[in-house]
Amino acid sequence: MPTLILARLLTVVALAGVFLVDSGQRANAAWAPGPQRYGVGKQGEVPVTMSDGTVLRADVYYPTDETGAPAPGRFPVVLSQTPYGALAEAAPGLSDPDAGALTLIGGGDTYLVRRGYVNVVADVRGTGGSQGTWDFLGPREAEDGAALVRWAAGLPMSNGVVGLTGSSYMAINQFFTLAALGPDSPVRALFPVMPSLDPFRDMVFPGGTFGLGSNAVYLGLTALMHLVNAGTAGNPDLAQVLVDRVAGLLSFHAKVILNGATDGDLAYDGPFWQARSTRAVLPDVVRTGVPIQLVGGWDDVFARGQLHLYSDLQSLAAGGRTGEPMRPDRPADPRYRLLMGQWHHVTVGAGVDLDALRLQWFDHWLKGIDTGISGPPMRLAEIGGDRWVGATHFPFPQAHPTPLHLREAGGLTRERAPVHRADLLVHSPLGVPCNRGLDQSTAGGLIVALRALGLPEPCAGNDNLSQLPPLATTYTTAPFTEPTVLAGPIAATVHATSTRPDTQLTVTVSDIAPNGASTPLTSGSLAGTHRAVDPTRSWLAPDGNYLLPFHPYTREAATPVPVGALVRHDIEIAPTFARLEPGHRLRITVSTTDTPRLLPLPKPLLNQLGGLYGIHHGPTVPSLIEIPLAPASAFSG
C-alpha cells in the first residue's frame, strides 16, 4: 500500500501542469508534435543475460496497428534503466495512457511509442525483476547499460538507433552507459532529466555535512523498493533473491549510514564517490559526440551541479577540461543544451510541454527530421520573474561579480566595514525548517502532498523565522533601484572564531520584498574541518575573491578548527538566476544549521555542540559575499 500511494503521488506530480507553456526553445514552423499514430503493445519481464550470466528484466513497449498487432516497419528505441521496479509498475495504470511524463519515474513512455518509437524500461541489476546485487551507480552497472543498449538496438522492431532517457538515477546512469559504450555506438542522443554532477557534493555530503533530508528520503525509498520487488525478481529461488536484495542494502544503504557515522571512508570524497561522479566520465562522454539535452531545476536537490554539468560538457567540447569555467571567447556547442526551470525534483516540467521537447529532440537526432532546434543552448526560468531567458555561457559573461561586505548594524554594502567587530552566533544542530532546504531535501514531495490534502504550506516560502538571532545573523542591502538579476555561481567568505574544534556555517541568500517578506533564493554550507580550498580547481572573480571555491572533502585535507583563532571559511553557494525588482533588497543570513537538509554525523556533531561563534568583519577582515549582478535588460527572453 505505501508503494501504491507513493506511486500515485509521484504520478500526479509528474503530470501536473506540464503542458502548453513555451520554454523559449521553439521548433521549426514546419514541425509540431504529431498526433498519436499507433497503439501500444507490451512484452513484460523480457530476460536479458549479461556477460557474467546474471539475468536482467526489461519491459518492451512497441507500436501497434489498429488490430493490436505489431506495427509494420522498424523504429528507433528509447531506453531507460530504473532501480524503482515496483514503483514503475504501479504508476502506468493510474494515469492517462498517453502520458509520456511517466518516464520520469520509470514507467513506459507511451507518448513516444504512439509516435513511432520502441521504448525499453530495464530494471538495473539487483532491483525490480532483475537478478544480482545492486551497487549504486557502480562499474558493473555501466557494463550492463552498454549490454542493454546493444541488445535493444538488435530488437526485431528496432532500426538499430537508440536514445537514452529518464530522470534522476535514470538520468545519471545515461552518462555511465554512454561512456562504457564509447564512440560509434547505437546511441544517438541523451535526454537526462534532473541529473547530478557529483552525488557526494550535490546530495550525500553537501558542504561536507551529511545530507539528512534527501538521504533519508532516498535510502528509505530504495530500500522499500528492493524488498517489495524481491518476489518478482524473475528467479524461482526466492531465498537467493532475498539474499541478493539484502546484500544490495548492505553494500550501499548500511555502508553509507554506518561507515559515515563512524567516520569511515564514505564520509569523505574518496574513490567510492569519485567513481560515481558523472564528472569522472564526461571526457569519455564528449568523445562520443552524442548530443545531450539536459533538464534541471533551481529547487532540485541536484541543482548545485546542473549548470556545472552543462559547462563541463561545453568546456570539454571546446578543448578544455572539467571543472573550469567556460571561456567567453569559445563558442558554445549546440549539441549540449540545458533547460533550467523553477522545479523541485518531482515537479519537473510543470508549465512546460516536456513530452513535446523530448519528442522534438529524438525526432531530430534519432529520426533525422529537421525539427528546427535552434536558439541559445541554455534556456533559464528567471526566479521571481515571469520570463524564460536565453544564454550560452556559464558563468554568465553579462553578470559582473560584485563583492558585498558584511557591515555593522546588519548592513551589506560594496564598501568594507570601517571598524572591526564580531557578531555573536550560537551553534545549534537543529533550527526552524523555514528554508529552501526543506523543499529541496523532500524533493518537493512535501509541498505536493500538502497541496493535494488542501493543507497550508509551512512558511509558504518565507524564511523569516529561520533568521532569528542568536542562531542566525543577517546582513541586508539598501533597496535596488532597477530590475537586477543575480546570475551565476556565488561564494561567501566568512571569517569566524569558535569555542569548539569544528564549525558549521550556512549562508542563505534571500530576496526581501518591500513588505518585509523574505524569499530564499539559494544557499550553501560548509563544515569548518573541510575549509581547505584547492585553488587550482577554484574559480576566481576579477577582484581575486573566490567565485567558486573547490573543497577537496578528503580525509587528508580535513583539519580541526583552532579554538579561539580567526579562521577563514570559503562557502560555495549553489548557482541561481533570480530577479530583484526595484524596492527589493538582498539579504545574507549566516547561521549554524540547515534543518532538515543537513545534520552532522556523530564525530563532527560532538566537536560542534555548544559552540559560540564570532562572525568578524572589518577593514582588514573582509567577510563578504561575491555575487554576480547584471541589469535585467542584459538578458533577453
For range 252-269, the mean pLDDT: 87
The C-alpha cell that represents 176 in the structure block:
555511465
- Condensed to tens digits (0 to 9), the pLDDT of residues 261-293 reads 899 999 999 999 999 999 999 999 999 999 999
Lowest-confidence range among 114-128, 224-238, 377-391? 224-238
pLDDT recorded at residue 633: 95
- Condensed to tens digits (0 to 9), the pLDDT of residues 342-377 reads 998 888 999 999 999 999 999 999 999 999 999 999
pLDDT recorded at residue 534: 98
Angle value at C-alpha 127, between 121 and 133, nearest 5 degrees = 130
Whether 2-201+277-391 and 400-634 share one fold: the answer is no
Whether the bond into 602 is cis, omega within 30 of 0:
no
> Hey, where are the domains in the chain?
2-201+277-391, 203-271, 400-634
Does the domain at residues 2-201+277-391 carry the CATH identifier 3.30.420.40? no
pLDDT recorded at residue 426: 96
Domain 400-634: CATH class, spelled out: mainly beta
Lowest-confidence range among 11-15, 397-401, 517-521? 11-15
pLDDT recorded at residue 112: 96
Most confident residue range from 152-156, 221-225, 259-263, 345-349: 152-156
Predicted confidence (pLDDT) at residue 15 exceeds the cutoff of 60? no
Q: Is the dihedral of CA 292, 298, 304, 307 positive or negative?
A: positive
Query: Strand, coil or helix: what is 163?
Result: strand
CA distance 419 to 178: 56
Between residues 27 and 177, the one the model is more confident about: 177
Q: Where are the beta strands (DSSP E) in 86-237?
A: 118-123, 158-167, 187-193
Using 50, 70 and 90 to split pLDDT, how confident is the model at 1?
very low
Using 50, 70 and 90 to split pLDDT, how confident is the model at 254?
confident
- Average model confidence (pLDDT) across the chain: 88
The C-alpha cell that represents 515 in the structure block:
513588505
- Condensed to tens digits (0 to 9), the pLDDT of residues 91-103 reads 433 233 333 343 4
* Full-model pTM: 0.91
Q: Determine the longest span between alpha carbons in the chain, in angstroms.
A: 83
pLDDT recorded at residue 355: 94
Predicted confidence (pLDDT) at residue 431 exceeds the cutoff of 50? yes
- Condensed to tens digits (0 to 9), the pLDDT of residues 585-604 reads 999 999 998 888 899 999 99
CA distance 613 to 261: 25
pLDDT recorded at residue 170: 96
pLDDT recorded at residue 238: 63
Cα→Cα distances 494→181, 364, 520, 551, Å: 45, 49, 19, 15
Query: Strand, coil or helix: what is 323?
Result: coil
Q: Is the dihedral of CA 533, 536, 542, 543 positive or negative?
A: positive
Using 50, 70 and 90 to split pLDDT, how confident is the model at 21?
very low
